[in-house]
Amino acid sequence: MLCPIANKESGGLVVNFKELPPVKEQIRKCVRCGRCRTVCPVFAEVKNETVAPRGHVFMVQMLRDGVVKPGADVYERLSNCLLCETCSAFCPSGIDIHELNAAARSFITENQANPAKRFVFDTLWTSPTLLRASTALMWGAHSTGLTKLARSLGLTRMLPGDLPKAERILDRVPFLSARDRLADVTPAEGKQKFRVVYFLGCATNLLRPEVALATVKVLSRYGCEVIIPKDLRCCGLPHIANGKMSTARSLVLHNFDVMSRCGADYIVTDCASCSSALSEKNVKFVLGQEELEAPLTQSVNKVMDLTAFLVNVIGINPGELVKRSEVRVTYHDPCHLAKAQNITKEPRQLLRSIAGVELIEMSEADRCCGGSGTFALTHYDMSMKILDKKMASIKTTACDTVATCCPSCSMQLAHGLKRNQLSGRVLHPVELLAQTLP
């Protein structure tokens, strides 16, 4: 259940991989039953044991025993995994397979020299200023037509890996971020009921600012003073997925230190990945049980997904909102909300609370869309195969709106609509809710 323990002298990870808690405690639980294969979206496409979750468990075991070396070839095999946690949710032995995979990726990364990865995840993705600058450059390239020109001249083919194809997923880059448009503190409308820290994630802030605006509007309208701390950084989940566990660890400690000083009743986020990264289970994995003590535990226990907060704390109920919003909606369950946190009812209850919204369930609503943060950028072809199944489910509903609670899923689904020449829009449930408020 716990991550590699940080080495305070080197800033890296403990070298003895076989003693890491997830490796030491969980590998022996695997009985090779194959249940994980039946639910893995990657295995469904490849049908090869090397990409099956139990295959990854076996690979981690060989890595532990020194049968294979911590090299790029092993990392590539382990990276053929979305870390969607579906296998962990269905494992009859209770193995957190995604934790084993993430721990192994981190061990390999710490044993390799990769300047590009170090720059992206240790420098760029830990600095809100640099992230904002990078998206500003992307906006400039899109708005001036440089991106289209580069594509027409074939210059984008010079990008590394799958980026020549995957860069189109990031085709929509707003000029203003959410932070550019929101105050550090937004007072509650009417009598204040709660003081809330809004954990504004990177993707929502930079790529989906309209979700953040709707979130603050709704929270304020329902009696919450909303605080957005200036010095918040990435939640750390992209770092976990890309083998930068020590960086994820420092981000978690930093963010909770910043938020703990706000004196809030709750810490709320509209991003499924962020709430998963800040959850008690993931914090235990990243930091280790010995560091999850008061007052950190008190802050961790305040973290809530936005829809769960609105339904379970604020108390929004079906039929409560009278302003009509005539729209047919289908809902996609983000993996980091449904599988990692078991939150599936609240987003649907929130949608049903809006008069005029007709919620139509798609088949396999909780099946991964293939986005999974950076996976769609590094494994584009596989990601699109998984996405095609999701788009087929969406198409059968004949809905004009797809709702989901994850910015990564939103971008992936919007790309899928465009790629399949389907009309429609992708919204967060809070956006539909905000539209009904006077």
SS3 176: coil
Model's pTM, two decimal places? 0.91
Mean pLDDT comparison of 17-26, 49-58, 166-175, highest-scoring range: 49-58
pLDDT band at 8 (very low <50, low <70, confident <90, very high): very low
pLDDT score, position 289:
64
Token pair in block for residue 398: 């004949």
Is residue 17 pLDDT above 80, yes or no? no
pLDDT tens digits for range 176-186: 999 999 999 99
Is 182 buried (19+), middle (13-18) or exposed (0-12) by CB count in 10 A? buried
* pLDDT, position 292: 66
Q: Computed from CA positions of residues 12, 14, 20, 21, in that sequence, does the dihedral angle turn out positive or negative?
A: negative
Determine the residue type at 337: L
Tell me, what's the pLDDT at 25? 79
Which residues pair with residue 434 across a beta bridge?
none
Q: Domain ranges for the chain, please list them.
A: 17-112, 316-436
Classify residue 340 as left (phi > 0), alpha (psi -120 to 50) or beta.
alpha
Count the neighbouring beta carbons within 10 Å of the beta carbon of residue 72: 11
Are 249 and 187 in contact by the 8 Å Cβ rule? The answer is: no
Tokens of 27: 């590998």
Q: How confident is the model at residue 3 (pLDDT cuts 50, 70, 90)?
A: very low
Cα 327 from Cα 329, distance rounded (Å) = 6
- Residues 29-46 pLDDT 10s: 888 898 999 999 999 999
319 φψ region: left (φ > 0), alpha (ψ -120 to 50), beta (else): left
Q: pLDDT band for position 4 (50/70/90)?
A: very low
Region 351-370 average pLDDT: 93
Per residue in 136-177, pLDDT (tens digit) is 988 888 788 877 777 777 766 666 677 777 777 887 889 999
Range 281-286, long-range pairs (CB < 8 A, 24+ positions) = 281/1, 281/340, 282/237, 282/340, 283/252, 283/256, 284/1, 284/2, 285/1, 285/2, 285/3, 285/22, 285/96, 285/99, 285/102, 286/3, 286/236, 286/240, 286/245, 286/248, 286/249, 286/252
Maximum Cα–Cα distance across the chain: 65
Answer for the pair 270, 215: CB distance below 8 angstroms, yes or no: yes
Q: Strand 194-198's sheet: what is its strand order?
A: 185-186, 224-227, 194-198, 266-269, 303-305
- Which pLDDT score is estimated for 1? 36
- What whole-number percentage of the chain has pLDDT above 70? 91
Task: State the pLDDT at residue 6.
Answer: 41
User: pLDDT, tens digit, for every residue of 224-281?
Assistant: 999 999 999 999 999 999 999 999 999 999 999 999 999 999 999 999 999 999 999 9
Element (H, E) at 401: strand 401-403
Give the tens place of pLDDT for each residue, 234-245. Answer: 999 999 999 999
pLDDT of residue 213: 98
Cα separations (Å) of 397 from 86, 278, 306, 331? Answer: 24, 33, 26, 10
SS3 state of residue 194: strand
Per-residue pLDDT at 438: 75
Fold entry, domain 17-112: Fumarate Reductase Iron-sulfur Protein; Chain B, domain 2 (1.10.1060)
- Rounded Cα distance between 48 and 69, Å, is 22
Residue (of 38, 148, 144) closest to 91 by Cα position: 38
Q: Is domain 316-436 classified as CATH 3.40.50?
A: yes
What confidence score (pLDDT) does residue 318 get? 62
Q: Which 8-state DSSP code applies to residue 321?
A: B
